[in-house]
Chain A
Amino acid sequence: MPKIPARAFHQHFTQNSHGISIALKPYVAKPFIRSTICVLWLFAVTTCGLLLISYENAAGPQNLSTTSFPKDAPVALDPQRCTLLLFAHPKCPCTRATMSELNRLLTHCAQNVSVHVFFLKPSTETEDWTKTDLWRSASSIPGVQVHVDPDSTIASRFGSSTSGDVVMFDPKGKLLFHGGITSGRGHEGDNPGASALIALANGVSTSCNNTPVYGCLLQKECNLKQIESTP
């Protein structure tokens, strides 16, 4: 509430014999003041909103370290279909949108894709730490195989450092796609990544094979720098 000008105060308040102010009529701020307050308010909200949106649309770091399916990968490359790997942090709230998008895109190409989801399991934590609702959500998607990624070593092997990062290889082990399948942090809805994956899985060529990934980091930032610096 803005400070009431002295003149306005005397117009609207008086004091009784005990010195207590009594309102003569409700205080009404002048239109200019009201408008100014509203403009300032709108500006503040807009600014905060933009900052928030900006954050929401800030992609996580990507480190493309492979172009073909590694032979020492913990899962085998499907020779008949494309192989899709999704790396996720079990507690990342943004990855919930990724799981929804994965579920949705599989409705379009489930027969053509072998899907594996790897959940980070730090060596310092128990299995329960990893088996969250996201784990259960991923497990409930038909055709999806869920795996534990101890200390994110597998993700690192595929150059993934952000939860929600997806990589897809063709049956010959060639990298088809690398990126996120949401349009922002935790934001469901149409997005280029999901569209590209459906197209690629169904044998349709697309120019989009790399999209930003929106999610929590799979490892601490300093660890990521070490990984990046590793030849």
Chain B
Amino acid sequence: MNPHMPIHSNVAHRADELFKEQQLSISKHTDYVFARLMIFQWIAGVAAAFLISPRAWAGIESHIHIHVWAATLLGALITSVPVAMAFMQPGKTLTRHSIAVGQMLMSALLIHLTGGRIETHFHVFGSLAILAFYRDWRVLVSASAVIYVDHLLRGFLWPQSVYGVMSAPIWRSFEHAGWVGFEVVFLIISIRKSLIEMQNVAERQARLEALNETIERTVAERTAELTREIAERRQAEIELKKSQVQLAQAQQIAHIGSWEWDLVTDKVSWSEETRRLYGFAPTDTGMRMDACVQRLHADDIDKVRNALKRAVETGEPYDCDHRIVLPDRTERVMHGRGEVSFDDDGKAIKILGTAQDITQLRRNEEALRRSEEQLRQSQKMEAVGRLAGGVAHDFNNLLTVITGYCALLLRRLAPTDPLRSNGEQIQRAAERAASLTRQLLAFSRKQVLQPRTLDLAEVVVGMEKMLHRLIGEDIQLRTICDPNVGKVEADPGQIEQVILNMAVNARDAMPQGGKLTIRISNVVFDQKTVIRNRGLEAGSYVMMAISDTGVGMTPEVKTHLFEPFFTTKGVGKGTGLGLATSYGIISQSGGDIRVYSEQGTGTTFKIYLPRVEKNIMKVVDASDTDALPGGDERILIVEDDEAVRALASTVMSQCGYNVELATDGQEALKMIESGLKFDMIITDVIMPNMSGRELYDRVRASLGDTKVLIISGYTDDALANRGVLEQGFKFLEKPFSPISLANKVREVLEDRSPDANAARMALSA
């Protein structure tokens, strides 16, 4: 910087300030220097007085020399004011002048104390040089004035003490002052140069400060900008982090992860959710595509590779569903999407994509498909059921008449009668027809079940002989029953029907013989097991597993296994109703059937029925004798079908009962309301004008001890809830034989039903 270049007024003002500050600083500093120096001088003076002239003598007597007092007191007096002002008012003009005067007076004192030694006079010149530290020529003038006045005064009063003669002219005073002036002149010149230098320094300092101020302002502005930029960047980083967290959460919630395949470096990187979905380790931040595809299901690797290759080659979006196998061997179904990015040359450089976990979606789709299948099956069942129900009512009435009259006829024919064989053929055909009708109702779950508390093991054991006969000698039957197996509530006849159906199927699956195993045990489905065994609620079940070592089934066959009229046995060999019927019965009983089959190994049907904690009621079966049990009670038969009504009337009359007939509910109601008393009412259910159920409900209060027996081939849920007969109803299924009707009537009249038995047991207990 050129100190001579013109300076701005502010800089000049600042330079002046700095110059004055510097001057003040120098003055203060010099004040402090002199303050210490003068204190030292005072102490030194006192010491010198004690050393040089401690005492004044008169002969042998002495007293403290006046020099000691002078050094102590006068020295203190000289020192006090300048030192006090130096400490109290440093930098003040008066302070430095008082110091200058004091310092010169101290010089005089010291010269005096040392006996006017010429060497001590150097104190004067040294003090002047030190006073020049102030860089204030006025101070030197003050000091010089003191010196001159001292010499002038002493030269005037005691000239010999100054000039060495008793009288001296006035010009002698100028001689000594001249030497002082000689030094002072050069000191003043030096001070002036020093002040100029100080002025230059101050100007340079001012310029530097101005420059610094400019730089600092620029730095401050830039710093503010940087601070703002940093704050904005931090805010952006926070927003970005927040956004990333939200994205990660969104990915986690949606089970959608993102990934990027850099085709140049062949490195695949992924988001946290993708890492989690694919089961990569947290430390895995990326890997080559070849390593990535190892996580895919072996069957899907080629599919994914081809889809990626096609996307890279054609630029079309990558879209591929595939399965992955996690390290714990569980599988996930993923839906991958991706978009290919190209460089300026049209070369594919990377694929950005997403990976969505659609495992649950697939499960839901499967469940939906299954539900839809079940719905279709249900609708099919409903249709078949309606058809079956529609025909069953009239068909059972016809069969009742056929079997009933055939039975009555056979009762009259002697065993050797040639017509007896014809009658029996008619009866067997009618029974087969009745069985067919029953099966139609069964698989469409329209049959009426009469559930009881059963021990499945007892049922199976009771059927063993029959099953042996059914399956033949080539097939080995084995029954394994848990001794603590629980009870179930089911219609025993229907359960037997199910077991028979299964046994027949097993036999047909083992034409070369094999093993048929029936295992009965308790199982408990907890909540986790229920998930795997959809269709069953959590709880205790009794499982009956019927296993064969036959040919097994294909998946296709398994799919249609329980469909009605589906059979693999060829035309004329199977009706296709067996398993459908079985499924209907079990479903109607609150259970489920599961099939496990492998081709060439065999098939296992597992039947699950809810376990109940009830005791088994012993049923007192009517004696199965040819003789019709009878009585003399009065019975009202309500039946719209004339033939059935006539048959029932005939049978009851033959049994000795007093029979009244009504064609429908209304007629029966009129008879009852007219005051006629009956011991029993036998009524059909589905009748014109008034159903049997309505009749029962209307007269129940006024029946008293009158028993009601319902006969029906199809009740259309009039009496049953989901096919299960409501409590209190006595029911005889059509078609019935005369003996079964007679037995049932007698049973009801004598109240030998299981419920009545239970009531009696309770009373006796």
Contacts and interface: CB of A to CB of B under 8 A. Distances in A.
Interface in A57-116: 57, 89, 91-94, 96-97
A122 interface: yes
A93 B59 contact: no
Nearest to B116: A187
Interface stretch (B162-170, B393-401, B458-466, B672-680): B162-170
A27 B151 CA distance: 37
Interface stretch (A8-16, A17-25, A28-36, A168-176): A28-36
B1 interface: no
A125 B57 CA distance: 14
B41 to A, nearest CB: 14
Contacts of B84: 1
A189 B164 contact: yes
A91 B62 contact: yes
A216 B63 CA distance: 11
A216 B57 contact: yes
Contact of B77 (A48, A96, A221): A48
B158 A192 contact: no
A223 interface: yes
Contact of B60 (A28, A124, A188): A124
Contact of B112 (A56, A92, A93, A191): A56
A164 to B, nearest CB: 12
B160 A192 contact: yes
B647 interface: no
Interface in A153-204: 163, 183-184, 186-192, 195
Contacts of B61: 220
Given A29-B89, A35-B94, A91 B115 contact: no
A41 B81 contact: yes
A101 to B, nearest CB: 10
A48 B74 contact: yes
B105 interface: yes
Contacts of B160: 57, 183-184, 191-192
Contacts of A52: 66, 70, 74, 112
Contact of B85 (A34, A97, A163, A195): A34
A49 B74 contact: yes
Nearest to B154: A53
Interface in B435-455: none
A26 B161 CA distance: 45
The residue in B53, B157, B164 that gathers the most chain A C-beta atoms within 10 A of its C-beta is B164
Interface residues on A, range: 35 or more
B58 interface: yes
A50 B156 CA distance: 12
Contacts, number: 130
A93 B94 contact: no
B81 A37 contact: yes
A38 B108 CA distance: 18
Interface string A127-167: 00000000000000000000000001000000000010000
Contacts of B89: 28-29, 34
B409 interface: no
Interface in B77-100: 77-78, 80-81, 84-85, 88-89, 92, 94, 97-98
The residue in A31, A53, A93, A223 that gathers the most chain B C-beta atoms within 10 A of its C-beta is A93
A120 interface: yes
Interface residues on B, range: 35 or more
B164 A191 contact: yes
Contacts of B78: 45
Contacts of B59: 89, 120, 122, 152, 217-220, 223
Contacts of A49: 74, 105, 108-109
A220 B60 CA distance: 8
B55 interface: yes
Contacts of B646: none
A91 B88 contact: no
B387 interface: no
A49 B59 CA distance: 28
B58 A183 contact: no
Contact of B52 (A41, A91, A93, A223): A93
Contacts of B108: 49
B73 A48 contact: yes
A97 B97 CA distance: 34
B94 A184 contact: no
Contacts of B105: 45, 49
Nearest to A57: B158
A38 B81 contact: yes
B56 interface: yes
A91 B59 CA distance: 9
B207 interface: no
A155 to B, nearest CB: 11
B65 interface: yes
Nearest to B146: A42
Contact of B115 (A1, A27, A188): A188
A56 B161 contact: yes
Nearest to B115: A186
A189 B158 CA distance: 13
A35 B74 CA distance: 20
B58 A216 contact: yes
A223 B85 CA distance: 50
28 contacts: A27-B88, A29-B89, A31-B94, A34-B92, A38-B94, A41-B80, A41-B81, A45-B78, A49-B74, A49-B109, A50-B153, A53-B157, A53-B158, A53-B161, A93-B53, A93-B54, A97-B115, A152-B59, A184-B116, A187-B116, A187-B161, A188-B118, A189-B164, A191-B160, A192-B164, A195-B164, A218-B59, A220-B61
Given A48-B74, A55-B66, A93-B55, 13 more contacts: A34-B85, A41-B81, A44-B77, A45-B105, A49-B74, A52-B112, A91-B57, A96-B52, A125-B60, A195-B164, A216-B56, A220-B59, A223-B59
* Nearest 10 interchain pairs by C-beta: A190-B164, A93-B53, A217-B58, A183-B160, A216-B57, A186-B115, A41-B81, A187-B116, A219-B59, A57-B158
